Every structure is written in C-alpha cells, then in structure tokens.
C-alpha cells in the first residue's frame, strides 16, 4: 500500500510502501478517495506537538478522509462494504494520506449524500472543530453575538455557517478580497484584518472563536462582554486541557506557565478562556451530514491536488490564499 510518511528525522513527506492496515473487530477498512489537508499535519511534521502528542515515527499524516468501505470487523453492525463514508480518525490512529486506512466504527459516519468525495473529505476536522466550539463548549444561543476569526479559512468558513444556523449575529475577520465570500456564508459583519482593528469596532460579544493566538487572542478577550467566552484552537493550551489529555506533572506545569498571561487577563476582564483540541466523533459527523444534506452547511473546497503531489499540497498551506479547504484525491 502506498502512503506519504514523515521519518524520524522529520524530513519532508515522502512516498513509501507500508503494511496493509490491521482491521480489528470494531474497525472499518476504508479505501480513501479524498483527504483534507490541515495546518495540524504540518505542525506535527515540524514537531510542534511532540510533547503533547508523542507520535511514533515514521508516521503517516492525514486527519480527514472520505471514501468507500472495503470490509468490516466482525463486531461492526452499522457499516457494510460499498458504503460511502467520512471520518476524522482518532488522534492515535491518524494516517489518511494513504490508499487505505482502518477506522474505528465510532469515529465513522456515512458521508453527506449531496456532497462529492472531495467535499466530504474536506469536512471532518473543521466541521467537528466548529461543532465542538460553538455547540458543546460555546453553547451558542439565538440572539448572541459571535466573532469568528479567519472566516475564509477551513474552520472559519464552516463556523460562520453553523453560528448563523444557531441564530447568532456573526462577525468575522477576513481580507477585503474575501469580504463578499464570507458574507455569502452568512457573516453579518466583516472586518478587513489588513486595514481595520476588530478591537476598535466590536464590543459586547458572547463568544470569540480564535484560530490565530497571541495578540489576536488577547484582543479577542477584550471585545467580550462580562461572562463571555473565548475558545482558542491555536493555543495556548490551558490547565483543563492538560488534565483531560492526561499530561504528566511537568507538562501540566509548562501548560500552566504558557497560559498564565491569558488566564490573568481573563480574571481581570471577568470573561473565560478554553482551549479546544477537537476529538473524533462519528455521532457528531452524522449530525453534520444531516445539516449538509439540508442545505444548512456548504463544504468549501478551495483547491484539489492529486495524491502524487501531497508534499507540495501540504507546503501550499503555508502560503495561504486558499478559501476553505485544500483536498488531495487518491485512486487505487
């Protein structure tokens, strides 16, 4: 089986022959037909998460997939060969930059019937991130005000649509050239981050979804109303995440130090901050499929690459300029 791997020296992705996936009793073997590209893949390749996510190298990257079921484990009941499915495999079982992958049944869902393989392959990580930020942790209610950064990006383009569906007034940051695009997704207020300062234009927000971190997160805290919440997907991790992830005491202390400035600001402002590292969930993907088929959510695929060009595709993420998600297509 062909796949793209990073080796122990963390060199650029290279194509290699690897062993066929082992299919457990509750696993589903999927022929991958499309795989979304995420900044997370390149960050793992660069070793940014090696303390928090101690992957063993060599490693096949890839966190999104859409494809067709080849066979199922003996205890699988909800899927059968020929089903068209999509998933974000659990953190310890990533590897969608490959021709086939074994996925836990609980992480898998039938893909939206109205979506192409490329569209379905673009969705899992970003749609689950948006769902867990806005529905689970944010508990967004009708009439609330929500700020979503980087609205033309992968997470942002889905989060805008979901927040609007939940009844929120949505503000977003984007380049001027993407203003009409994000308005078309449902954004009520568009701030050109190149020429405008969102902190000077927004106030009294219930929730901010920050995908940038640093000063951008600190400014996002200041536009919240008392009791408002910021959810960060770029960092810094917070102590609650460290506990949930089961990090050792030394790493917990490091996380506490890294998030100290933000937590002090949160206390001063009377708001809250939570870090989100999304988790796999087939149940949530089934809900997302229903929203896509109902026309509530529209996948946004900005560019499609052939499997043979996976290294170049991953490099392209750092250059920016892609609306929504980039996807690789895989045959065989």
CA distance 81 to 30: 9
- What pLDDT does 183 receive? 98
Residue recorded with tokens 């979503």: 148
Write out pLDDT tens, residues 263-281.
999 999 999 999 998 999 9
- What pLDDT does 332 receive? 61
**How do 59-60 and 2-6 pair as beta strands?**
antiparallel
Task: With CA atoms as reference, report the closest residue to 288 among 83, 30, 87, 76.
Answer: 87
CA distance 203 to 166: 20
- What pLDDT does 238 receive? 87
Ranges of H-type helices in the chain: 39-45, 117-122, 124-131, 154-165, 179-185, 198-201, 215-222, 239-244, 249-258, 260-269, 282-293, 310-317
DSSP classification of residue 185: H
Q: Which residues of the chain register pLDDT less than 70? A: 51, 54, 332
Give the number of other Cβ atoms within 10 Å of residue 114's Cβ.
Answer: 14
Write out pLDDT tens, residues 136-194.
999 999 999 999 999 999 999 999 999 999 999 999 999 999 999 999 999 999 999 99
Task: With CA atoms as reference, report the closest residue to 181 among 320, 321, 323, 303.
Answer: 323
CA distance 10 to 44: 9
- What pLDDT does 318 receive? 78
User: Apex CA 205: angle with CA 201 and CA 208, to 5°?
Assistant: 95
CA distance 310 to 331: 13
What is the four-CA torsion angle of 233, 234, 236, 238, rounded to 10 degrees? 20
What Cα–Cα distance (Å) separates residue 111 from each residue in 61, 90, 224, 232? 21, 17, 36, 28
- What pLDDT does 7 receive? 86
CA distance 211 to 276: 10
- What pLDDT does 214 receive? 93
- What pLDDT does 204 receive? 98
């Amino acid at each position: 089986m062909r796949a793209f791997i990073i080796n122990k020296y963390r060199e650029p992705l290279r194509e290699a022959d690897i062993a066929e996936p082992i299919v457990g009793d509750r696993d589903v073997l999927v022929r991958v037909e499309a795989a979304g590209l995420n900044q997370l893949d390149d960050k793992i390749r660069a070793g940014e998460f090696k303390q928090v996510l101690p992957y063993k190298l060599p490693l096949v990257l890839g966190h999104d997939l859409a494809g067709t079921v080849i066979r199922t484990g003996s205890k699988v009941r909800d899927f059968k060969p020929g089903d068209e499915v999509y998933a974000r495999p659990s953190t310890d079982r990533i590897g969608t930059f490959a021709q086939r992958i074994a996925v836990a049944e609980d992480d898998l869902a039938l893909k939206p019937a109205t979506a192409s393989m490329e569209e379905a392959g673009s969705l899992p990580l970003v749609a689950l991130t948006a769902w867990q930020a806005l529905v689970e942790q944010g508990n967004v209610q009708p009439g609330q005000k929500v700020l979503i950064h980087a609205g033309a990006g992968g997470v942002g383009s889905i989060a805008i649509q979901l927040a609007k569906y939940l009844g929120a007034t949505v503000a977003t940051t984007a380049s001027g050239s993407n203003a009409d695009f994000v308005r078309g997704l449902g954004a009520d207020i568009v701030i050109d981050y190149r020429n405008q300062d969102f902190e000077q234009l927004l106030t009294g927000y219930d929730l901010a979804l920050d995908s940038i971190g640093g000063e951008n997160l600190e400014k996002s805290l200041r536009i919240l109303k008392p009791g408002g919440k910021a959810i960060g997907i770029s960092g810094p991790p917070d102590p609650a995440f460290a506990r949930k992830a089961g990090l050792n005491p030394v790493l917990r202390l490091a996380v506490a130090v890294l998030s100290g400035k933000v937590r002090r600001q949160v206390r001063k402002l009377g708001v809250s901050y939570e870090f989100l590292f999304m988790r796999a969930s087939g149940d949530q993907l089934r809900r997302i499929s229903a929203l896509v088929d109902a026309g509530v959510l529209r996948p946004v695929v900005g560019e499609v690459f052939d499997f043979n060009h996976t290294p170049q595709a991953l490099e392209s993420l750092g250059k920016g300029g892609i609306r929504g998600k980039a996807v690789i297509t895989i045959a065989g």
